Amino acid sequence: MTLNPFQLLFAILFTLTLTVKAQVKPVNYNAMPANGITLDTGWRYSPQDNPQFAEPAFNDASWGGINPIYPPHRIPQLKGAKIGWLRLHFKTGPNLGSRPFIFDMLQSAASEIYLDGKLIGKYGTLSANPSNVVPLGLNLQNQEVYLTQGAEHVFAVRIAPWRGPAINSNWLYLCQITLIDANQYIEITKTTIKGDEVYIALTSVFFLLSLLHLAFYRYDPTQRANLFFAVYAIISTLGFLGVVMQGEVQDCRIWLCVYVPAFLTTLMGAVWVIRALGTLFSFKINRLEIGLWCVYIITSFLIIFWQINRPFFTGLIIFGLVQIWLTVKALRMKKRGAGIIASGFAVSVVALAPFLFGVTISDLTHQLLILILFLAPALGISLYLAREFALDSSLLRKKLVQVETLSVQNLAQEQEKQQLLARQNDNLENEVAVRTSELQRSLSELKSAQTQLIQSEKMASLGELTAGIAHEIQNPLNFVNNFSDVNREMIDELKEELKAGNIDEALAIANDIQQNEEKIIQHGKRADNIVKGMLQHSRSNTGERQLSDINTIADEFLKLSYHGLRAKDKSFNADLVTHFAESLPSVNMVPQNIGRVLLNLFNNAFYAVNQKKKIAGADYKPTVEVTTVLKDNFIEIIVKDNGQGVSDAIKDKIMQPFFTTKPTGEGTGLGLSLSYDIIVKGHSGSIAIESTEGLGASFIIKLPLTSKNNESV
Amino acid sequence: MKILVVDDEADVQPLFLQRFRKEIREHELEFDFALSGEEALVYLQEKHSEVVLILSDINMPGMSGIDLLSRIRHDYNAPPPPIVMMITAYGDDENHRQAIENGANDFLTKPLDFSLLKEKLKTLLA
């Protein structure tokens, strides 16, 4: 069914007539509760905005009822409302009498308050545009109003609601007006001021604690409990600051930004305390910590989106229990200083007790208890950490003293060691000096011994020569003597022939005598050479260079060597084979030195073949060969034997001094060494050995035909 | 009488020829020479029956006089055995003993005393 406009107008007029007739009954108040009279019933609301509504005479019987003590978003009548009006009719009874009251209000809106048509207060900026509303609703300036007993009073409130975030049921109410006594007002004011003082004190103390422990952490980063505790203190400082501020701000928007975080930070601080406790007791609480943060997030969520008190206190209790549990655990484990922290918590619990059991206490006690409640655990932990710091410091000081003592000892030891070392060095140097002089002495002794050895080597080879020399001298002497003797006889015969006048015969005899004389001269020279050679050989190594014939020297010494050996060992025999190159140039050399070398090689060769003869069969023919060859710019002398040969193992060694294969006493070991020196150093030649073990050996001497060594061709 | 002289010294030949020129001239003695033991053995192979006396040096390259002596005593000792006299420059007992052991009839030292040698030859020939 639809109504036409007339029917509608009629209906409205009819209704208005009815309502005009009906008068709103005022609310009666006849007692003053402890917290004052909260005007929580009898309110009427109109979403219209009309200055008439301020008038006490205005009949609002047609308005709907409303309970303004709810957050705006939970009041259905306010849906879509901009600026509207609240009206309340009330009376005060005889118990209250006619007297002034303090008018206290809080609101989540901007409003103008009229009492009996008179504007008594204007809070915030009203606007038809909700986003322009400035909601000053808290900590507002109180007004004094005079109320007459039995008279009907009307509060008319022109109100522009601020909705804020529509998430929590506990947020600010739309409008709450309380009437209180002057006495009550004084008490409330006092309490508020003291409460502020407590929280200001807590803020300061916690701020100082945070600075203190940050400093501790700064100086000793290994104790991370200091950091966590400092974080806790900072967070708590912010929380307490929030509590202080929420008692000061008027703007609802700012208040919301202070009030809720105050709860959230207080809770968060509790989690950091647990972290600090875990660290300073060295508990592994990683998993527990994750759980706690989960609890924190859940409670925070609930605080923001549901309500404050229940989740907040639940979280606080959970965290407090965990803190107490950790402390008890530490106490049981007899952790150093756990008692201090435990005392802090104990004191805190004692301070909490009166609140839990609802004991009536004076305001002052209340403030003190709150102070103690918050401060005791924090101070406990702070004291503990400070004590740890102090203990560490004193320990460090002790350690420092120890270290200093030790380093002094160390230094002393070091010095001692250095002195010892220096002494040892001195000793060592002395010893080295002594040894050096000893060594030099033995070196010079060795040198003289070497000289003696070289001399004795010469004498030894001379000794070997003696027999050969004897034989060699006997032979020429034999001729000298006998040819002389024959000549004497022949001269006698010559005389006889001459007397007999046989000239031809005499001439023949004279020729013979002449020939014999030549033989005598020849063999005399031969003996002379042998003696000279012997003398030269025994002389020291300063023979003069002279042009000499290699073949002559080789032949001479080959025979000397051979007969020398024969003289010693009658059974010894060997074939001497000579391949002397014809027309060899004379070589500029020290003949007795070259002779000594050849003698050595011949002696060795004869020794080798003789040794082999002792073990070889009857077919073995000991042979020593001497070959001289003229090459481009040098003469080669090869002394070859078919003796035992030289093994590869000792080939490199045979030129070394004192190396000998002969039985002890038979060789000095210097022969080849001296030969090497004479050929290589004395005559710029070379001496080499070719040998097949068991088949014989060849020593090859090369004497260069340089201008130095060779002066005629 | 044929005498073989073995010595590596070539001048021994004129010396002997001079010393015994009278005996040679009167054909009492005849000399042949060898310059080594080996040469002497070659000579003896053909003429051992002619040679009555052998004079040999001991110290020679190759075959020594002692070797030669033992070879003569071994190979050419058919009667009448040749008379062998050893000559050496080393007149020591050891050489002497070895020579005698190997069957030498006599032992002479250098320088050779030819009058002594002649005496001995006379004794031998007598």
pLDDT, tens digit (0-9, with 9 covering 90-100), for A382-394: 888 888 888 888 8
Please indicate whether, in this complex, the C-beta atoms of A483 and B18 are within 8 angstroms of each other.
Answer: yes
- The enclosing domain of A285 has a CATH number of 1.20.1070
Using pLDDT thresholds of 50, 70 and 90, give the confidence band for residue A84: very high
> Is A668 a member of any domain?
yes
Identity at A594, one-letter amino acid code: I
A666 neighbors A593 (Cβ within 8 angstroms): no
CB A685 within 8 A of CB A634: yes
Cβ atoms of B30 and B3 within 8 Å: the answer is: yes
Please, what are the domains in chain B?
Answer: 2-125 (3.40.50.2300)
The span from the CA of A119 to the CA of A113, in Å, is 6
| Whether residues A570 and A692 fall in one domain | yes
A666 falls in which pLDDT band (50, 70, 90)? Answer: low
- In this predicted structure, what is the pLDDT of residue A712? 35
How confident is the model at residue A320, as a pLDDT? 87
pTM over 0.90: no
- Let me know how many helices (H) and strands (E) chain B has, helices first: 6, 5
Domain containing A83 equals 26-180
Q: What pLDDT score does A613 carry?
A: 85
Structural domain contains residue A75: yes
Return phi, psi of residue A67, to 5°.
Answer: -110, 105
User: What are the C-alpha distances in Å from A366 to residues A35, A262, A263, A530?
Assistant: 17, 20, 20, 144
Distance of CA A44 to the CA centre of its chain: 81
- Considering only CB atoms, which chain A residues are within 8 Å of B14? 515-516, 519
Interchain pair B89, A574: CB under 8 A: no
pLDDT-derived band at A458 (thresholds 50, 70, 90) equals low
**HSE toward the beta carbon, residue A467, CA cutoff 13 A:** 18
For range B12-26, the mean pLDDT:
89
Is residue A470 in some structural domain?
Answer: no
**Closest B-chain CA to A489:** B19
**pLDDT mean over A520-527:** 87
Cα R_g (chain A), whole angstroms: 70
Q: Does residue A398 lie in a domain region?
A: no
B89·A515 Cβ contact <8 A: no
Measured torsion, CA atoms of residues A36, A42, A48, A50, in degrees rounded to the nearest 10: -70
Q: Which residue of A573, A609, A620, A624 is the best one to mutate when testing the B interface, meaning the one whose CB has the most B CBs within 10 A? A: A573
Show which of residues 41-70 on chain B sit within 8 Å of chain A, judged by CB atoms.
58-59, 61-64, 66-67
Residue A442 included in any domain = no
**What confidence category does residue A469 fall into, taking pLDDT thresholds of 50, 70 and 90?**
low
H or E segment and range at residue A328: helix A309-332
Q: What is the pLDDT of residues A565-623, one digit of tens each?
A: 777 777 778 888 889 988 888 888 888 888 888 988 998 899 889 888 888 878 888 99
Q: HSE of B79 in the Cβ direction (CA atoms, 13 Å)?
A: 0
Residue B101 contacts A, CB cutoff 8 Å: no
User: Residue A48: which residues within 8 A CB-CB, separation 6 or more?
Assistant: A84, A85
Spatial distance between the Cα atoms of A315 and A300, rounded to a whole number of angstroms: 9
What is residue B32's predicted lDDT score, i.e. its pLDDT?
A: 93
Å between B47 CA and nearest CA of chain A: 25
Spatial separation of the C-alpha atoms in residues A142 and A137, rounded to whole Å: 12
What is the predicted pLDDT for the residue at A273?
87
Query: What does the pLDDT average to over A20-39?
Result: 82
Q: CB distance from A514 to chain B under 8 Å?
A: no
A515 touches chain B (CB under 8 A): yes
Average pLDDT, integer, range A63-80? 88
Tokens of A453: 């050895």
Name the A residues in 443-482 with CB < 8 Å from any B CB. 467, 470-471, 474-475, 477-482
Q: How far is B23 from chain A (nearest CA, A)?
A: 14
A468 domain residue, yes or no: no
Count of beta carbons in the 10 Å neighbourhood of residue A165: 11
A697 and A653 fall within a common domain: yes
Q: Do A176 and A197 fall within a single domain?
A: no
Picking from B12, B15, B17, B116 by the largest number of A CB atoms within 10 A of its own CB, the best residue to mutate is B15
B14 and A516 within 8 Å at the Cβ level: the answer is: yes
Check residue A711 and give its pLDDT. Answer: 38
Q: How open is the CA angle A522-A524-A527, to the nearest 5 degrees?
A: 110
Query: Which phi and psi (to 5°) does residue A318 adopt?
Result: -55, -50
Indicate which of B5, B7, B9, B11 best probes the interface with A, i.e. most A CBs within 10 Å of its own CB.
Answer: B11
Q: Which pLDDT value is given to residue A466?
A: 66
Half-sphere exposure of A88 (CA within 13 A, CB side): 24
| Predicted-complex ipTM score | 0.85
3-state secondary structure of A89: strand
> Quick one: pLDDT at residue B126?
66
Dist CA A159 CA A673 (whole Å): 134
Cis peptide before B111 (omega within 30 of 0): yes
Q: Quick check: A471 pLDDT over 80? A: no
Of A167, A165, A111, A116, give the one whose Cα is nearest residue A138.
A111
Q: Beta-carbon neighbour count of residue A558 at 10 Å?
A: 24
- Asked whether the beta carbons of A470 and B90 are under 8 A apart, the reply is yes
Which of A519, A567, A573 lies at the smallest CB-CB distance from B64?
A573
Q: Give pLDDT tens digits for A424-439.
A: 999 999 999 998 998 8
- State how far residue A442 is from chain B, nearest Cα, in angstroms: 45
CB contact under 8 A, A474 and B11: no
- A658 CB burial (10 A radius; 0-12, 13-18, 19+): exposed
DSSP letter for each residue of A478-529: HHHHHHHHHHHHHHHHHHHHHHHT-HHHHHHHHHHHHHHHHHHHHHHHHHHH
Q: Is B14 at the interface with chain A, CB within 8 A? A: yes
The Cβ of residue A322 has, within 10 Å, a number of other Cβ atoms equal to 22
Chain B CA closest to residue A567: B90
- What is the least distance, in Å, from the CA of B51 to any CA of chain A? 24
Most distant CA atoms of chain A, gap in Å: 226
Calculate mean pLDDT across residues A479-503: 89
Q: Do B90 and A471 touch (CB under 8 A)?
A: yes
Contact between A372 and A347 (Cβ < 8 Å): yes
Residues A208 and A120 grouped into a single domain: no
Query: Searching chain A, which residue's CA lies closest to the CA of residue B113?
Result: A482
CA of A536, closest CA in chain B: separation in Å? Answer: 24
Mean pLDDT of A694-700: 90
Nearest-angstrom CA–CA distance, B69 and B49: 16
Domain boundary at A332, A356, A391, which? A391
Domain boundary among A391, A406, A434: A391
CA of B117 to nearest chain A CA: how many angstroms apart? 12
Residue B1: closest CA among B77, B52, B56: B52
Does A559 share its domain with A679? yes
Question: Which of A485, A515, A523 to mutate to probe the B interface, most B CBs <10 Å?
Answer: A485
Q: What is the CATH number of the domain that holds A33?
A: 2.60.120.260
A371 with A225, same domain: the answer is: yes
pLDDT at residue A1 greater than cutoff 50: no
* Domain shared by A245 and A387, yes or no: yes
Per-residue tokens: A36: 């004052």
A224-271 confidence digits (pLDDT tens): 888 888 999 999 999 989 888 888 889 988 888 888 888 899 889 889
Starting at the edge strand found earlier in the chain, the sheet holding B83-88 runs B30-34, B2-6, B51-57, B83-88, B106-109
Asked if residue A323 and residue A259 are part of one domain, the reply reads yes
Prior bond of A26 cis (ω within 30°): no
In chain B, what residues touch A512 (CB-CB under 8 Å)? 18
Residue B91 predicted with pLDDT over 80: no
DSSP state of A53: G
- Over range A678-686, report the average pLDDT: 86
pLDDT of residue A710: 43
Residue A179 pLDDT: 92
* Residue A463 amino acid letter: G
Chain A residues near residue B89 by CB distance under 8 angstroms: 470-471, 474-475, 478
Taking 90 as the threshold, does the pLDDT of residue A111 lie above it?
yes
**Is the per-residue pLDDT at A535 higher than 80?**
no
User: Among A180, A215, A244, where does a domain finish?
Assistant: A180
Continuous segment of H or E residues that includes residue B55: strand B51-57
Query: What is the number of domains present in chain A?
Result: 3
Nearest C-alpha neighbor of A312 from the set A192, A170, A194:
A170
Q: How many CB atoms lie within 10 A of CB B6?
A: 30
- Name A325's bridge partners: none
pLDDT tier at A123 (50, 70, 90 boundaries)? very high
In percent, the amount of chain A with pLDDT more than 70 equals 89
**Of the listed ranges A353-367, A624-638, A689-703, the one predicted with least confidence:** A353-367
Q: Distance between CA atoms of A707 and A457, rounded to whole angstroms? A: 32
Count A/B contacts: CB-CB distance under 8 Å. Answer: 68
Q: Let me know whether A316 and A203 are in one domain.
A: yes
For residue A524, the tally of other CB atoms under 10 A from its CB is 16
What CA–CA distance (Å, rounded) separates A77 from A66?
8
A213 and A264 belong to one structural domain: yes
Q: Which helix (H) or strand (E) holds A159?
A: strand A153-161
Which residues on A lie below 8 Å from B11 (Cβ)?
Answer: 479, 519, 522-523
Question: Cβ distance A305 to A262 under 8 Å?
Answer: no
Mean pLDDT (whole number) for A37-51: 91
pLDDT at residue A478, as a whole number: 86
Stronger pLDDT, A554 or A367, i.e. the higher one: A554
Least confident of A441-450, A692-701, B36-45: A441-450
Per-residue pLDDT tens for A145-165? Answer: 999 998 999 999 999 998 777
Task: Please give the structure tokens belonging to residue A560.
Answer: 């000397």
Do A658 and A629 share a structural domain? yes
**pLDDT given for residue A616 in this prediction:** 82
Record: contact B111-A481, CB cut-off 8 A: yes
CATH code, domain carrying A665: 3.30.565.10
Give the number of other CB atoms < 10 A from CB of residue A427.
10
Same domain, A91 and A206: no
Residues A49-77 have a mean pLDDT of 89
Is the Cβ pair A482, B67 closer than 8 Å? Answer: no
Q: What share of chain B is helix, strand, coil (3-state, %, to 5)?
A: 45, 20, 35
